Amino acid sequence: MGTPDFSVPTLRALHDAGHAIVAVYSQPPRPAGRRGLELVPSPVAREAERLGIPVRTPVSLKSAEEHEAFRALDADVAVVVAYGLILPPAILEAPRFGCLNGHASLLPRWRGAAPIQRAIMAGDRETGTMVMQMERGLDTGPVALTARLAIGADETAGELHDRLSEATAELIAEAVDALESLSFTPQSEEGVCYAHKIDKSETRIDWTLPAREVHDRIRGLAPFPGAWTEAQGERVKLLRSTFGEGQGEPGTILDGDLLVACGEGAVRLVAVQRAGGKPVAAHEFLRGARLGVGDRLD
């Protein structure tokens, strides 16, 4: 049970290990294309179809009909990775070994929808992925397996997403191989925090913040939805940054390689994207935008 690109390696790992996958559940096709008129299956649904596995895409799992259809699969276990739908008790209790969830954080830190982005935005130096037994609460179940990953100083959410996706696939495969002997440990009651969905109001950079917070926000929102600023009234997405040395009025460009002053310290913008344009290096952007030392980003 999964939907986005993040979940695809797990499906492949289970298939390659020779497990009998009786069905794949994924969210329904979504409008896509330039006009949004074409309905496109999710990445997981497309991979399942490629592998010849039956795909189900219910809008909800709340109905008695869906409960009965799920029970009729007679599955030993349900593997859930970024599915995106709430599993009612009737679904959670149907498989012989319940529902195993692969979650990309070191629980109980960053329960919820956006654990990868939130970990980077908070300046965490370590994250990981866990296999837990699902229960009615949001990411509250006991944990069986854990893999820990260091977060690079300039690593973006996109880069960490890809590493965690592969780590989750490996951990899930290990868990399913050892299904009958897994032991579970309850989560700690301390350190609980929630990874709420990213709100649009969080994506505009406030240059009065310290350089550390600005840098963490830029990389935590890259590549999607993307942090942004305004340059001469034009919206510019900030895709990659690193720390630099300098001081000045927040938002001021301090050199010819896009070093920007923050409330404390400075951040060097490495890659940016103008509205309707493609990602470019800092020096290309400065040349095209006709910006220079002393100009301001807002």
Sign of CA dihedral 161, 115, 125, 99: negative
Q: Is 223 annotated as a binding residue?
A: no
Domain end: 161, 195, 229, which one? 195
Residue-wise pLDDT tens digits, 35-92 = 667 899 999 999 999 999 999 999 999 999 999 999 999 999 999 999 999 999 999 9
Q: Is 108 annotated as a binding residue?
A: yes
How many CA atoms within 13 Å lie on the side-chain side of 86? 7
pLDDT for the residue 208: 98
- Within 8 A by CB and 6+ apart from 276, the residues are none
What domain range includes position 230?
200-289
Residue-wise pLDDT tens digits, 145-203 = 999 999 999 999 999 999 999 999 999 999 999 999 999 999 999 999 999 999 999 99
**Greater model confidence, 288 or 124:** 124
Domain end: 195, 212, 247, which one? 195
Considering the entire predicted model, what is its pTM?
0.95
187 and 215, same domain (yes or no)? no
How many Å from the N-terminal Cα to the C-terminal Cα in the chain? 43
CB burial of 250-281 (b: ≥16 within 10 Å; e: otherwise) equals: bbbbbeeebbbbbeebbbbbbbbbbeeeeebe
CA distance 96 to 40: 33
Q: Is 138 annotated as a binding residue?
A: no
Number of domains in the chain: 2
pLDDT for the residue 68: 98
44 and 175, same domain (yes or no)? yes
CA distance 118 to 142: 22
CATH code of the domain covering residue 267: 3.10.25.10
- 133 within domain boundaries: yes
60 and 107, same domain (yes or no)? yes
Q: Count H helices and E strands in the chain, helices first.
A: 8, 15
At 283, the pLDDT band (50, 70, 90 cuts) reads confident
Q: Is 106 annotated as a binding residue?
A: yes
Residue-wise pLDDT tens digits, 24-36 = 999 999 988 666 6
